[in-house]
Amino acid sequence: MTHELIRVEDVGKTYGSVLALREVSTVVNAGEVTCVLGDNGAGKSTLIKILAGVHQHSSGRMLVDGAATTFGSPREALDAGIATVYQDLAVVPLMSVWRNFFLGSEPTVGFGPLRVLDRKKGKAVAKRALAEMGIDLRDVEQPVGTLSGGERQCVAIARAIHFGAKALILDEPTAALGVKQAGVVLRYVAQARDRGLGVVLITHNPHHAYPVGDRFLVLKRGRSLGSAEKAEITLAELTRQMAGGAELEQLAHELGGVDSESGAG
Amino acid sequence: MTTDIQTEPERDERIGRPRVLERLVVRPEIGALIGAIVVFLFFSIVTDQFLTTGGVAVWLDDAATLGIMAVAVSLLMIGGEFDLSAGVMTASTALVTAIFAANVGLNLWVALLLSLLFALAVGLFNGVLVMRTGLPSFIITLGMFLALQGLNLGVTKAVTGTVQVSGVASAPGYESVGFFFASTFELFGTQFRVSILWWIAFTAVAALILVRTKPGNWIFAVGGAAQSARAVGVPLVGTKIALFMTTAFAGWLVGNINVLRFTTVQANQGIGLELQFIIGAVIGGCLLTGGFGSAVGAAVGALIFGMARQGIVFAGWDSDWFMLFLGVMLLAAVLVNNALRRRAERVRR
Q: How many CA atoms lie within 13 A of A222 on its CB side?
A: 9
pTM of the predicted structure, to 2 decimals: 0.82
Q: ipTM > 0.95?
A: no
Strand partners, A171: A86, A202
Looking at beta carbons, which residues of chain A come within 8 Å of B218?
A: 103
Q: Which CATH number belongs to the domain containing residue A177 in this structure?
A: 3.40.50.300
Helix (H, G, I), strand (E, B) or coil at B239: helix
What is the layout of strands, in order, in the sheet containing A67-68? A67-68, A59-64, A4-15, A18-29, A223-229, A215-220, A33-38, A198-203, A167-171, A82-86
Distance in angstroms (rounded) separating the CA atoms of residues B32 and B284: 5
Cα angle for residues B236, B239, B241 (degrees, 5° grid): 105
How many CB atoms sit inside 10 A of residue B164's CB?
Answer: 15
Judged on CB neighbours under 10 Å (0-12, 13-18, 19+), A29 is buried
Searching chain A, which residue's CA lies closest to the CA of residue B348? A148
Closest CA to A200 of A170, A158, A230: A170
Nearest by CB to residue B234, choosing from A104, A117, A138, is A104
Distance in angstroms (rounded) separating the CA atoms of residues A215 and A30: 12
**CB atoms B345 and A178 under 8 Å:** no
Q: How far is A19 from chain B (nearest CA, A)?
A: 26
Distance in angstroms (rounded) separating the CA atoms of residues B84 and B144: 8
Q: What is the pLDDT of residue B303?
A: 93
Query: B25 in contact with A at a CB cutoff of 8 Å?
Result: no
Helix (H, G, I), strand (E, B) or coil at B153: helix
In a domain, A40, yes or no: yes
Query: B16 in contact with A at a CB cutoff of 8 Å?
Result: no
Distance in angstroms (rounded) separating the CA atoms of residues A13 and A156: 28
Strands A116-117 and A108-109: antiparallel
Q: What is the pLDDT of residue B341?
A: 73
Residue A184: give the domain boundaries.
Answer: 4-92+163-233
In Å, how far are A97, A133, A186 from A212, measured between CA atoms?
27, 16, 7
Helix (H, G, I), strand (E, B) or coil at B346: coil
Q: What is the pLDDT along chain B (349 residues), one digit of tens a residue?
A: 344 444 444 455 555 554 555 555 567 788 888 888 988 999 888 888 888 888 888 999 999 999 999 999 999 999 999 999 999 999 999 999 999 988 888 888 999 999 999 999 999 999 999 999 989 999 999 999 999 999 999 999 988 888 888 888 888 888 888 888 888 887 888 888 889 999 999 999 999 999 888 889 899 989 888 878 877 778 888 999 999 999 999 999 999 999 988 888 888 888 889 988 999 999 888 888 888 889 999 999 999 989 988 988 888 888 888 888 888 888 888 888 887 777 766 544 3
Cβ A118 vs Cβ A109: under 8 Å: yes
Interface test with A, best of B232, B239, B294, B341 (most A CBs within 10 A): B232
Distance in angstroms (rounded) separating the CA atoms of residues A92 and A78: 20
B219-274 residue pLDDT tens: 998 988 887 887 777 888 899 999 999 999 999 999 999 998 888 888 888 888 99
In a domain, A257, yes or no: no
Residue, of A203 and A230, whose pLDDT is higher: A203
In a domain, A48, yes or no: yes
Searching chain A, which residue's CA lies closest to the CA of residue B22? A142
A116-159 residue pLDDT tens: 888 888 888 888 888 877 777 778 888 888 777 778 888 888 88
The angle that helices A149-162 and A119-132 make with each other, rounded to 10 degrees, is 110
Residues of A with CB under 8 A from a CB of B: 74-75, 78, 84, 86, 89-95, 99, 102-106, 108, 115-117, 119, 123, 138-139, 141, 143, 145-149, 159, 178, 181
In a domain, A120, yes or no: no
Closest CA to B68 of B281, B238, B265, B236: B281
**CB atoms A103 and B225 under 8 Å:** no
In a domain, A262, yes or no: no
In a domain, A108, yes or no: no
Judged on CB neighbours under 10 Å (0-12, 13-18, 19+), B5 is middle
As for how many domains chain A has, the answer is 1
Task: Spell out the domains of chain B, with CATH numbers in brackets.
Answer: 32-338 (1.10.3470)
Looking at beta carbons, which residues of chain A come within 8 Å of B12?
A: 138-139
Q: Could you say which DSSP state residue A148 is in?
A: B
Closest CA to B60 of B36, B94, B25: B36
Closest CA to A47 of A164, A217, A249: A217
Q: What is the pLDDT of residue B328?
A: 87
| Long-range contacts of residues B154-158, Cβ cutoff 8 Å, at least 24 apart | B155/B95, B155/B99, B156/B95, B156/B99, B156/B267, B157/B267
Distance in angstroms (rounded) separating the CA atoms of residues B298 and B36: 11
**Torsion region of B233: left, alpha or beta (phi above 0 gives left; psi -120 to 50 gives alpha):** left
Searching chain A, which residue's CA lies closest to the CA of residue B18? A139
**CB atoms A104 and B232 under 8 Å:** yes
In a domain, A115, yes or no: no
Helix (H, G, I), strand (E, B) or coil at A221: coil
Amino acid at A171: D
In a domain, A136, yes or no: no
Distance in angstroms (rounded) separating the CA atoms of residues B246 and B136: 18
Closest CA to A48 of A100, A92, A18, A87: A87
**CB atoms B349 and A146 under 8 Å:** no
